[in-house]
Amino acid sequence: MRGEEFLALSVLEGTPWDKAADHLSPRAQRALRRELGAITARLHTLAPEDGRFGYPAAESGLSASDWYSAFTAMVEALLDDAERWKSPAHPEGRRSSRTSRTT
C-alpha cells in the first residue's frame, strides 16, 4: 500500500474542555479561562523570525507572509483532507470556492 492511503493523527490524553465543563466549579472555569487568555496573549506577542506565518516547512505550502493567508491555506488543506478521507466532518455542499478576504 502507498503512504497516501494512511492518515496519522496524534492523540492527547485527557478530557476535552467542553466535556469536562459540567464537572468543573465556576471558580475552576474562571481560572482556566484566565490561563487560556494568558496563553493566547503570549502567543500574540510571538513573531516569526523569517516573517512568515503558518507551518514552518516551506514545502508544505501552508505558510504566508500574513496570518490571514496562512490560516486560510491551512483551513483549505484541512477541508481537502476531510473530502479526500470522506470524513463525516466534511461540510458537504457548504464549502465555497476559495475564501476571499473582506476588510
Q: How many CB atoms lie within 10 A of CB 63?
A: 19
Q: What is the model's pLDDT at position 46?
A: 81
> 86 or 2: whose pLDDT is higher?
86
Q: Stretch 16-39: mean pLDDT, rounded?
A: 93
> 97 or 67: whose pLDDT is higher?
67
38-96: pLDDT as tens digits:
999 998 888 778 888 888 888 889 999 988 999 999 999 988 888 888 887 656 555 55
Q: Are 62 and 77 in contact (CB under 8 A)?
A: yes
- C-alpha 40/C-alpha 36 separation (Å) is 6
List, in sequence order, the alpha helices (H) in the chain. Answer: 17-20, 26-43, 67-84
- C-alpha 61/C-alpha 55 separation (Å) is 8
Q: What is the model's pLDDT at position 93?
A: 52
